[in-house]
Amino acid sequence: MTFQLADAEQALTTARNHINLRWYPRFHLAPQAGWMNDPNGLVWFDGWYHAFYQHHPYSTQWGPMHWGHARSRDLMHWEHLPVALAPEGPEDKDGCFSGSAVVNGDELALIYTGHKFHGDPTDDDNLYQVQCLATSRDGIHFTRHGKVLDTPPGMHHFRDPKVWREGDSWYMVVGSREDDTGQVRLYRSADLHHWDDAGVLGEASKEMGFMWECPDFFTLQEKQVLIISPQGIAARGYDNRNLFQSGYIVGQWQPGEAFTQEHVFAELDHGHDFYAPQTFTAPDGRRILLAWMNSWESVMPEQQDGWAGMLTLPRELNLTADHRLQMKPVKEVENLRQTWQRWAVTSLKNQQQCVMENAEATEVLLQWDTAASDAEQYGIALSDGLRLYVDNQSQRLVLERHYPQSGLCGQRSVPLPAASVLSLRLFFDRSSIEVFVNDGEACLTSRIFPQHRQLSLFAWSGSAHITECGAWDLA
């Protein structure tokens, strides 16, 4: 272990004994201490799921990026491993930025962005981002091989490589910025060490952002899916309400040909906190996604507690016949279930009814009969800080949080599904909620910071009817 990696581990050992656990997650992956952002290097290797992540072990603020590392047998119970990468070479002296992992024979290979400045770090003209390689036989200790792909001439923002195998070749997509236009650039290699330029895979139109971060590219249901996190998209009505977005484009591609877009960019998740999603293939063939359950410039109240940032639940992806990407929790989450509490509520009229006193690590199942419900608003509330409700006048499902003490107030929403039954699956952790609508038709993910955790059902200005409601305590 290098001195920088040893120093990082020592800092974490000291800091993790002093974090406040009031908002620290019970069943989501978060750093032991310090800062976390993008998930990196999601992969199955040697009997384990591995999740790496952008990490600053020395403080709860973003800083020179390291790669944190955890592994799991079941995607639910994570074991923290030593920090995998630290910014300690000429290629990455100012940060080991985001990237990916692939299995190459008996080796685990990390491909990541080396971040460095040649001069004044406040001037983008001095920024250089190159792609680097590190390998491991045991999946824990890594040998660095330095730069394997240089910055294109005249380009400064060139980061977040995602690598996959296609036939006899390796391919890599990299997010980039050409002047003020977001791009995804494509490269090809026979050995992970030497890369040839294969052109521009995708490029932003005028309204689609100045930088495309964290690209991912994969095949699902015989279509190709390009996931991007664009910066610089303006809000439009109910869409693109976060400062930075994450979404996908569906089309067709094969090696040597252009990517043909068949579906417009669509957001993956409609909550307040979802960014930099990345996917990998599980041993059984499922395409699984994790994302950072925050975003740039978000308020993060947990920083005062000695840690910052967490990842979403792992989600299985499915592509519908009309090119919509659906997400639902992986089946492994059901292994966390303990006691089932059925709530004895079938209808509500101009009232609020408490159904649970302490929703700290809880999965809620809730079905509303929308055809038979005429209340102007009906839904579920977590004390006085969070409401998830149907707005019958706008015909939308609204996620509303109200934490003025943290500066976190506002709404996100999706259209009501056309079906007469609204099926909701909610996951409450200490400082998060993830909402899955009608088995993945829509998702809303947000950070929450409750002082109290009482769950209530309500209906105002009319009545609402429930066909199923209850909750699982989660281990």
Active site residues: 38
CB 462 within 8 A of CB 373: yes
Measure the CA–CA gap between 186 and 173, rounded to whole angstroms. Answer: 5
Structure tokens at 253: 């591609």
Which is it for the CA torsion 20, 23, 24, 30, positive or negative? negative
CB 382 within 8 A of CB 399: no
- Whole-angstrom CA distances from 69 to 33, 331, 450 are 13, 23, 29
R_g over Cα of the chain:
22
If one counts every other C-beta atom within 10 angstroms of the C-beta of residue 238, the result is 15
If one counts every other C-beta atom within 10 angstroms of the C-beta of residue 413, the result is 20
Measure the CA–CA gap between 473 and 6, rounded to whole angstroms. Answer: 38
Q: Cα–Cα–Cα angle for 281, 432, 350, nearest 5°?
A: 125
Measure the CA–CA gap between 74 and 68, rounded to whole angstroms. Answer: 19
Question: Which residues is 70 bridged to in the sheet?
Answer: 51, 80
Structure tokens at 116: 């460095």
Structure tokens at 56: 């600053």
Q: Three-state SS for 152?
A: coil
Measure the CA–CA gap between 274 and 102, rounded to whole angstroms. Answer: 24
Q: Is 297 left (phi over 0), alpha (psi -120 to 50) or beta?
A: left
CB 215 within 8 A of CB 227: yes
Measure the CA–CA gap between 292 and 295, rounded to whole angstroms. Answer: 7
Q: Three-state SS for 341?
A: strand
If one counts every other C-beta atom within 10 angstroms of the C-beta of residue 406, the result is 15
DSSP code per residue over 296-328: TT---GGGGGTEE--BPPPEEEEE-TTS-EEEE
Structure tokens at 445: 């993910």
Q: Dihedral angle at the C-alpha atoms of 218, 433, 387, 271, nearest 10 degrees?
A: -30
